[in-house]
Amino acid sequence: MEIFDFSKPNTTKKVRAAKKVLEQEPGVNKQQQNKEFYDQALERIIQLLKKNTIPLATPTRRLLQRPQIYKFGPKRIQWKNFEAFCNQINREAQHVSQYFFNLLGTEGQIADESLIIRGRQTSTQIEASIKKYLNVYVICSMCRSLDTSLIRDVELRIYIQECKACMATKTVPTLEISDKKQS
């Protein structure tokens, strides 16, 4: 039976490695120094973000009003707070109404501060249409902010959505304006 002596290294490589470890000065090794440097750099980046770009460092959430939808006669519905909704999302009432008329395949009109839509749509259909409009024309695809503006390029005949928070731009589909008389 062989007796193994584990206290002695059996190769010269192990001896050299052991000498290197013993010759190192006691204290902080390179891994600890790198981690401390990384933590300091990360903390500095976070502080600079908070200082210079408040909207990106602290996310804000804006709640929109629920649409107030009522029956208006046998075959019409009325969206009472339509103008307030358009002001909240910073869009023209004509653009928003045209989107809804095209999407729902119906006609309507803007009266006072409300939108009157022909047809028998339910409030859930209107809310689903609002979500589609917000995703396509209002919400920034980069930072998910509602603080955007819609600019029409006359030469190219396209709409450009520009985010005021992150300055991102993207093109959005143009609306087909129907020549039907709105009543």
CATH code of the domain covering residue 165: 3.30.30.170
Q: Concatenated DSSP letters for 28-69?
A: --HHHHHHHHHHHHHHHHHHHHHHH-HHHHS----PPPPP-E
Supply angle C-alpha 130, 134, 140, rounded to 5: 170
- Residue 23 belongs to a domain: no
**What residue numbers bound the domain in which 104 lies?**
69-172
- Residue 27 belongs to a domain: no
42-52 pLDDT per residue, tens: 999 888 877 77
- Residue 88 belongs to a domain: yes
Q: Which value, in Å, is the radius of gyration of the alpha carbons in the chain?
A: 32
- Residue 19 belongs to a domain: no
CA distance 43 to 34: 14
Task: Name the band, by pLDDT with cuts 50, 70 and 90, for residue 126.
Answer: confident
How many domains in the chain?
Answer: 1
Mean pLDDT of the chain: 80
- Residue 64 belongs to a domain: no
Task: Name the band, by pLDDT with cuts 50, 70 and 90, for residue 25.
Answer: low
- Residue 63 belongs to a domain: no
pLDDT of 157 over the 60 cut: yes
- Residue 34 belongs to a domain: no
CA distance 18 to 5: 16
Give this prediction's pTM: 0.63
- Residue 55 belongs to a domain: no
